[in-house]
């Protein structure tokens, strides 16, 4: 089982869980399905992860931790650069997620669906990950967006960052819908095109004039 071309049981469980969570949701997926798909024993989940709850956390964190680290690294770079633009900021915010979701061979849409659903997932383990892992990132980026959008009030910035997150989450989670709505003409796997369209829309929304009377 530990030969070079056979991944560890632990990783096979994570991969199988992620794919099944993406396809049918967390609650509809049983440990029996996961271990059967991963060609592992039922008891191995509890051996490696202690419980289904902790397995869920590991599946999410494996993707989110490096993704958010990449975002924050890029943000830090921009903050020490006088010439950085709103466009750079949107790249730093969107690209690591799109990259992670659509780059992984054969499972672009799987990981994307799984990640995009994070925000609307009712499961408690998922909810707590939003608070612990995403909250800080959203705040740091909101502050950075605010510096680029001095014409907006603080709450207007929050509204618009919220919408920008919604665009990302919906594009990842509901990629199949845009394929269907366009009768197949749009390919939601095309990383560069997805990013280009998302940024164009979000930048226009973010820079729109303030709704608050300033005259």
Residues found near a second copy in the complex (CB under 8 A): 23-25, 27-28, 116-117, 119-123, 130-131, 135, 138-139, 142, 154-156, 158-163, 165-167, 169-171, 173-174, 177-178, 180-182, 185-186, 196-198, 200-208, 211
Given 22, 40, 89, 115, the residue binding DNA (CB under 7 A): 40
31 binds DNA (CB under 7 A): yes
Nearer to DNA among residue 20 and residue 206 (C-beta): 20
Given 11, 23, 24, 30, the residue binding DNA (CB under 7 A): 30
51 binds DNA (CB under 7 A): yes
9 binds DNA (CB under 7 A): yes
Residue 139 interacting partner from DNA, a second copy, none (CB closer than 5 to 8 Å by kind): a second copy
State the DSSP string of the chain: --STTS--HHHHHHHHHHHHHHHH-STT--HHHHHHHTT--HHHHHHHHSSHHHHHHHHHHHHHHHHHHHHHHHHHHHHT-TT--HHHHHHHHHHHHHHHHHHSTT-HHHHHHHHHGGGG---HHHHHHIIIIIHHHHHHHHHHHHHH-TTS-HHHHHHHHHHHHHHHHHHHHTHHHHHHHTTT-S-TT-HHHHHHHHHHHHHHHHHSPPSS---
Closest distance to a second copy from the beta carbon of 208 (Å): 4
Nearer to DNA among residue 51 and residue 132 (C-beta): 51
Closest distance to DNA from the beta carbon of 10 (Å): 7
Give residue 127's Cα distance to chain centre.
14
Closest distance to DNA from the beta carbon of 193 (Å): 38
Closest distance to a second copy from the beta carbon of 56 (Å): 12
Quick check: 83 and 94 in contact, CB under 8 A?
no
Given 11, 23, 24, 42, the residue binding DNA (CB under 7 A): 42
Closest distance to a second copy from the beta carbon of 88 (Å): 18
Rg, the chain, Cα only: 19
């Amino acid at each position: 089982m530990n030969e070079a071309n056979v991944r560890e049981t632990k990783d096979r469980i994570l991969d199988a869980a992620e794919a099944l969570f993406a396809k049918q949701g967390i609650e509809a997926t049983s440990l029996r399905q996961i271990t059967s798909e991963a060609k592992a024993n039922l008891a191995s989940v509890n051996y490696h992860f202690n419980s289904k709850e902790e397995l869920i956390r590991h599946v999410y964190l494996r993707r989110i931790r490096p993704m958010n680290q990449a975002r924050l690294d890029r943000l830090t770079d921009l903050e020490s650069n006088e010439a950085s633009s709103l466009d750079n900021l949107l790249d730093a915010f969107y690209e690591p997620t799109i990259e992670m979701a659509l780059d992984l061979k054969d499972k672009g849409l799987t990981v994307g669906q799984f990640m995009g659903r994070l925000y609307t997932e009712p499961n408690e383990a998922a909810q707590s990950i939003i608070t612990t892992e995403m909250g800080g990132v959203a705040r740091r980026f909101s502050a950075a967006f605010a510096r680029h959008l001095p014409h907006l009030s603080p709450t207007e910035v929050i509204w618009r960052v919220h919408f920008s997150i919604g665009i990302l989450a919906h594009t990842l989670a509901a990629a199949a819908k845009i394929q269907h709505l366009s009768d197949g003409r749009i390919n939601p796997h095309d990383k560069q095109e997805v990013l280009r369209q998302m940024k164009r829309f979000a930048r226009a929304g973010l820079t729109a004039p303030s709704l608050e009377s300033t005259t």
